[in-house]
A and B are shown apart, each in its own frame.
Chain A
């Protein structure tokens, strides 16, 4: 048993401040900072030395130099264009894939998620096998399989599969390209106006029905406006708003029309199927998370099945779904960088080529990583905003 009497009190000597908690904390931080600075100095010193020895620099000026290579798709490019232009094309390509990919993956994911909850055993089993395969194999392997094993094994251009104006070959997917005619600006303006009007009309009519109890058929009227007005303008404008440019085989290439390159198709299909599987699981978990009692109460009140889903289950499920969904969206954006595996010139691919041509590692990598960081931050910010709008107010 320790006995301390007043004489044995720890002495308050002049060194007592060393044991002061605040001093210790400040010291710990100072030591940490010094270590980080020393390490940083050593690393930077080595970096400067290495850069000098290899005849490189640390400025970003080299981006204005001539690229000396051409980016395969996205925007037209000449060999004499700059590195910076090439980089922008890469960024554009990444955004294309990510944008379309997010949309399609969500659609696939929601459908698959609902299918996982279906009462049909066969459907459920097939979809869950799909999900398990996607989740347990690496995306890169899937991409290789899809691109090298399926797309590149499609029939050649000569033997392409044709359905009407659409054709599929191992050089791409060809379809007619809409070309705006003289009446196009007018038609677009009218269509946009019709969209806005139909949305506003829907809300007004819905509101009136709720307030006054009168059946105003909001869906019917807004539907008529949405579809009828653009159609009418289309039929009755003198100049054709849209013409179609049909692709045709000229020698060894397809001329005209629009193309979906095999590379783009490869990365898009791969990303959509992979991310869709994860989203399916999230959607399923989200819907299951809504207590069964909610559904039962809603049905007991007389709501139809679709009304129960739309008004009671989905809003509550969304709250559970959005955080992990954000994660999957971020993953899709980051996974788009695997496009290099199928030869699609996305941001990473182009940056890697720029590095190979210029040797300027530090600048290229910083720019590339910075761009991805900004993308991630933007996606997170948008999703967080959505999330906060959906939060249930609690005590």
Chain B
């Protein structure tokens, strides 16, 4: 078994006096799809945001692809270039067209020439199913389309890891499927993914492992089969009963 691509050991994070993460440890192998779930305020989003330094962890170690995440700006930049992130609120740049949104980072960070960036962008837009929207502006697209553009934008940087922070929570129900389909296809190509979500159908279909978070800690983890059919902890059982039977 090779080294994990993400290694988190005993990660703590405080916001002032409030402790959001209380010693979270996790190992992710290359190509694994991890689903993280739990009640709101449990620290799931905070946790994945510490991995690409959108939040700073005060204690513990995070190592991504062999690079340790510290205050070192070069390490941070290197790690961020290997991780793509998709947000709950899409966060597309409203003043740029869809194409410009996708090509922005490759041109300015990877310093690709414009033609190459646009070619890659068109391919990605095709892959997520909306090649014809390239010249439109984010405000003219539906939520599902915007999120798919966001996925394409993250993929344009050719990351090794994709983080998803509740990608479908802000979508109208009829658009959730189109985004989940893209994510499923991505998982099948072998991308390492950490997904915070409530979509248990997705977890069942694609996840290699699931982690249940509550109050800043990992309460339980296992394969989807193990977690759904045989949850060990009471809190896990309680939470599953709340979200699976409505």
Contacts and interface: CB of A to CB of B under 8 A. Distances in A.
A316 B174 CA distance: 42
B67 A4 contact: yes
B206 to A, nearest CB: 24
A388 interface: no
Given A6-B3, A10-B67, A10-B78, A1 B158 contact: yes
Nearest to A7: B66
A9 B73 contact: no
Given A6-B3, A10-B78, A20-B72, 5 more contacts: A4-B65, A4-B67, A4-B82, A21-B71, A21-B72
A21 B68 CA distance: 14
Nearest to B158: A1
Contacts of A20: 70-73
Interface residues of A, number: 14
* 8 residue pairs, one from A and one from B, having the closest CB atoms: A6-B66, A21-B71, A20-B71, A19-B72, A19-B73, A19-B74, A10-B74, A9-B66
Interface in A342-356: none
Interface of A: 1-2, 4-6, 9-10, 16, 19-24
Interface string B13-37: 0000000000000000000000000
24 contacts: A1-B158, A2-B81, A2-B82, A4-B65, A4-B66, A4-B67, A4-B78, A4-B82, A9-B66, A9-B67, A9-B68, A10-B72, A10-B74, A10-B75, A19-B72, A19-B73, A19-B74, A19-B75, A20-B71, A20-B72, A21-B71, A21-B73, A22-B71, A23-B71
A5 B66 contact: yes
B130 interface: no
Sorting the interface of chain B by its residue count into under 10, 10 to 19, 20 to 34 or 35 or more gives 10 to 19
Contacts of A16: 72
A381 B73 CA distance: 43
A21 B75 CA distance: 10
A49 B176 CA distance: 73
B76 interface: yes
Nearest to B65: A4
Contacts of A10: 67, 72, 74-75, 78
A23 to B, nearest CB: 8
Interface in B52-87: 65-68, 70-76, 78, 81-82
A6 B66 CA distance: 5
A19 B76 CA distance: 10
Contacts of A2: 81-82
B83 to A, nearest CB: 13
B166 to A, nearest CB: 24
A214 to B, nearest CB: 55
B154 to A, nearest CB: 15
A1 B76 CA distance: 18
A381 to B, nearest CB: 30
